């Protein structure tokens, strides 16, 4: 008999089927035992009569054969009767470190992450990564449909795209290399190679010492780069369009998982915008918060998120026109105010999830900018030489996938949105 998944059983009422999964919950009523079976698709109730069945414990892996019978009170509105159960993999624990079958895991985050495989069996936790899967799928579908080519760039690099010391060194034969902070240089090079529009779903690495609820040292970056743009407004427009698409498809592809987390998605509409200068003036006026020129800290992001939500109803806000000193060397300066760049961040519920902007596409301007930033252009020859051969006006952005997942599902810590998080303390499991 071929295996049937729990969610498929409803279509087989009256038939005998075979199920495989884990014992999620047991309720012994003497001559009746109710077994809640869990597989990758969900839960289904199994009714065992008498005592002529193997001893069962939570998380035992079993196979069940029985008849599908309608029951409006059971998960999926069906249950399995006349059932026979067979243990196919026993458990060997004294006690479960996590309450996998609870509606919500009450144990602390360290315990959850130390027992990550077990915690991922919880339907609530399991659902986080089904949603994340659909975010990534929607990202791919949206940009492929608009003429973007998916690329995969190196994660071992000679120099950092963002500069600074926030890089993980790697012993690379007789040389020193680094884990890539970003695919930035390669995205631009692929635009210059004639692909014009590219995107990537890949890991990025930041050797930051921040040990906060919003930082990871390894994360999934959803990167976009496009050529022949007019300016940064084209980039904000296409990201806005993507988010509207994402929020329209997620209820269709993972509505049950969103409901588990109490999330109802609404069309983001036209995302409001503020320049950094305007945002700083607003923060000072509304909240008495003063910041150094061009700087927006974590508290400021939360305050801006609250203000925009109250005034416009939007969960999103584009911050624009960051100073040259606050952006990487390749950021394009504004023609009418060269101290500012054609760049932006996107805040979602008071947290930055995107950084982007127009890039410099002229060789001499980029060469001079590198020198002004104290960089040696010769160290970046593989990248800089690209601009000798004609590169169109271009730009892009990167969305932090775990941050987007975290904010969308209202999670308390970004580690909850990472399968096996890497931070300043954690390299296992």
Specify the 3-state DSSP secondary structure of 340. strand
Cβ(347)–Cβ(304) below 8 Å? yes
Show the CA angle centred on residue 145, arms to residues 142 and 148, nearest 5°.
90
Distance CA 106, CA 96 (A): 13
> Binding site annotation covers 400?
yes
- 401 labelled ligand-binding: yes
Two tokens at 326?
């606050």
200 in a labelled binding site: no
The verdict on whether residue 121 carries a ligand-binding annotation is: no
Chain center to CA of 295: 25
Q: What is the largest CA-CA distance in the chain?
A: 84
Answer yes or no: is 149 a known binding residue.
no
φ/ψ (deg, to 5) at 233? -65, -30
Cβ atoms of residues 46 and 37 within 8 Å: yes
161 is in an annotated binding site: no
Q: Are 205 and 168 in contact (CB under 8 A)?
A: yes
DSSP of 190-239, one letter per residue? Answer: HIIIII-EEEEEEEEE------STT--SEEEEEEEEEES-SSHHHHHHHH
Partner residues linked to 3 by β-bridges: 18
| Residue 355 is assigned to a ligand binding site | yes
**Residue 273 in marked binding region:** no
Rg of the chain in Å (alpha carbons): 26
- CA 120, CA 358: separation in Å to the nearest integer? 40
Binding-site residue numbers for L-aspartate are: 162, 206, 355, 359
Binding-site residue numbers are: 162, 206-208, 214-216, 352, 355, 359, 400-403
Binding-site residue numbers for ATP are: 206-208, 214-216, 352, 400-403
């Amino acid at each position: 008999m071929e295996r049937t998944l729990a969610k498929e059983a409803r279509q087989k009422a009256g038939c005998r089927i075979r199920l495989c999964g884990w014992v999620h919950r047991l309720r012994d009523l003497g001559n009746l035992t109710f077994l809640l079976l869990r597989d990758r698709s969900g839960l289904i109730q199994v009714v065992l009569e008498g005592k002529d069945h193997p001893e069962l414990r939570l998380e035992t892996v079993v196979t069940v054969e029985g008849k599908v019978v309608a029951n409006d009170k059971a998960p999926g509105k069906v249950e399995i009767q006349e059932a026979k159960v067979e243990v196919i993999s026993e458990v060997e624990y004294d006690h479960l470190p996590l309450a996998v079958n609870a509606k919500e895991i009450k144990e602390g985050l360290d315990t959850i992450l130390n027992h990550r495989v077990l915690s991922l069996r919880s339907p609530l936790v399991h659902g986080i990564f089904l949603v994340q899967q659909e975010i990534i799928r929607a990202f791919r579908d949206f940009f492929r449909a608009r003429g973007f080519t998916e690329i995969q760039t190196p994660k071992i690099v000679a120099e950092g795209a963002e500069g600074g010391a926030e890089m993980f060194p790697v012993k690379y034969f007789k040389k020193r290399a680094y884990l890539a902070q970003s695919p930035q240089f390669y995205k631009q090079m692929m635009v210059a190679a004639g692909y014009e529009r590219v995107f990537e779903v890949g890991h990025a690495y930041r050797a930051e010492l921040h040990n906060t609820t919003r930082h990871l040292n390894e994360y999934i970056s959803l990167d976009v780069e496009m050529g022949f743009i007019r300016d940064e407004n084209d980039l904000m427009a296409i990201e806005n369009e993507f988010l509207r698409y994402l929020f329209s498809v997620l209820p269709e592809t993972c509505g049950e998982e969103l409901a588990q987390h109490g999330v109802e998605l609404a069309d983001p509409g036209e995302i409001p915008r503020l320049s950094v200068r305007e945002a700083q003036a607003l923060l000072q006026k509304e909240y008495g918060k003063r910041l150094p020129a061009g700087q927006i800290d974590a508290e400021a992001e939360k305050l801006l998120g609250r203000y925009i939500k109250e005034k416009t109803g939007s969960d999103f806000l584009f911050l624009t026109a960051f100073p040259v000193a606050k952006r990487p060397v390749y950021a394009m300066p504004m023609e009418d105010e060269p101290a500012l760049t054609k760049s932006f961040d996107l805040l979602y519920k008071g947290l930055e999830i995107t950084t982007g902007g127009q890039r410099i596409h002229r060789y001499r301007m980029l060469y001079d900018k590198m020198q002004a930033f104290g960089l040696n252009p010769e160290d970046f020859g593989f990248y800089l030489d690209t601009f000798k051969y004609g590169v169109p006006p271009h730009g892009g952005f990167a969305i932090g996938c775990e941050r987007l997942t975290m904010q969308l599902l209202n999670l308390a810590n970004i580690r909850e949105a990472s399968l096996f998080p890497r931070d300043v303390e954690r390299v296992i499991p």
